[in-house]
Amino acid sequence: MPIVIGGIIVIIVILVTSWINSRNRQSLRSLAEPYELAIGSAVTGWQLSDQNYSSLLLEEFNLITPENAMKFGPLSPAPGQYDFTEADAIVAFADKNNLVVRGHTLVWTNQLPQWLSDGAYTQSETREILRNHILTVVGRYRGKVQYWDVVNEALANDGSIASNNFWMEHIGPDYIALAFEWAHEADPDALLFYNESYAEGKGEKADGVISLAQSLIARGVPIHGIGMEMHTGLGWSPNPQEVAHNMQRISTLGLDVQITEMDVRIEQPVTLDELNQQARVYAEILRVCLKATNCSAFSVWGLTDANSWIPSVYPGTGSALIFDEIMQPKPAYEAMIKVLQER
């Protein structure tokens, strides 16, 4: 009898220990929490109902960004009409699971509705269309979307405001300030970001981001942060010291910074050595973000290599994310875990 009781006790101890271990399992989000750093991934609405996808997402991440669902084109099939099905599903999922949402993106020259890009609207009509769009979308998710990429990729490579841009052509340079003001009007508590690509290291474009932010702040425009997209690749990733310097400059302006869309593409087929090099790039950028006092989120642009935009846009390259096509952690994931444990 005592043997039976002893056996039962041992089984209970094993079960309780494994339950405790599974709860304390180290994940990116749990390790990042003490740093008050959010760990994010871009998502699509339809994938959230896939059990494997959503459990990996919830284990590792506490912030999500709709990859396409909140862009003007995908949202609005006809003037004044909206289909919020996918965006609502993403926000409801976040709500249910206590995730932070980065709304992406209110004003961009890409992925516009065809009725808008083909339409012949006057300057004041276009202003009104943009105002209504921002008030509608930000208003709908007031209190549920904590961060907005208000304006996306507005700068040319030389750091000037790009002229080959729908909003620049139809409204003029004021479109940027106006968009922030309207977003703030629709949700005064949302934190409003300017998001830019290929402006992470030293260069004219990064300087352009700083001067744009400076001029918005000088005009009293409500802007709270800068998004560094961080789409990069092996052999041409930004110098970490330069990224750190830019984060510092952004901090001097009183703004937050977030890594918003990181991926590191590799030419196919990949070798283990290349995956290790990729891991070093992820680790370096995460370390820079952790050391910066104003870096509040680190997001990758897709959950796994099966969900990445890279292979379709840059054929022959891929493997850009931290989980592989079958959802297994890659060296990049392990390297990020190590960086978060370095403290």
Degrees (nearest 5) of the Cα angle 68, 108, 45?
10
Do 262 and 288 form a contact (C-beta atoms < 8 A)? no
300: helix, coil or strand?
Answer: strand
Residue whose beta carbon is closest to ligand 9MR: 309
Looking at beta carbons only, is 263 or 284 nearer to ligand 9MR? 263
Q: Which residues have C-beta within 8 Å of that of residue 40, sequence separation ≥ 6?
A: 61, 62, 63, 64, 65, 100, 102, 260, 297, 298, 299, 300
**Residues carrying an active site annotation:** 153, 261
Q: Which of 82, 84, 198, 309 forms a contact with ligand 9MR (CB under 6 A)? A: 309
Query: Contact between 229 and ligand 9MR (CB under 6 A)?
Result: yes
Looking at beta carbons only, is 67 or 200 nearer to ligand 9MR? 67
Task: Report d(CA 128, CA 72) in Å as an integer.
Answer: 14
Write 247-254 long-range contacts (CB < 8 A, 24+): 247/288, 247/289, 247/292, 247/294, 247/295, 248/292, 249/210, 250/210, 250/213, 250/225, 250/226, 250/294, 251/292, 251/293, 251/294, 253/210, 253/213, 253/214, 253/217, 254/217
Quick note: the x/- pattern for ligand 9MR over 106-135, rule CB under 6 A, is: ----xx------------------------
Nearest approach in angstroms of CB 260 to ligand 9MR is 8
Looking at beta carbons only, is 149 or 256 nearer to ligand 9MR? 149
Nearest approach in angstroms of CB 308 to ligand 9MR is 8
Task: State whether the Cα torsion 74-77-79-84 is positive or negative.
Answer: negative
Query: Contact between 60 and ligand 9MR (CB under 6 A)?
Result: no
Query: Contact between 157 and ligand 9MR (CB under 6 A)?
Result: no
Q: Which of 187, 261, 274, 305 forms a contact with ligand 9MR (CB under 6 A)? A: 261
Looking at beta carbons only, is 27 or 237 nearer to ligand 9MR? 237
Give the footprint of ligand 9MR on residues 180-199 (CB under 6 A).
197
Q: How many residues bind ligand 9MR (CB under 6 A)?
A: 9
For ligand 9MR, the binding residues (CB under 6 A) are 67-68, 110-111, 152, 197, 229, 261, 309
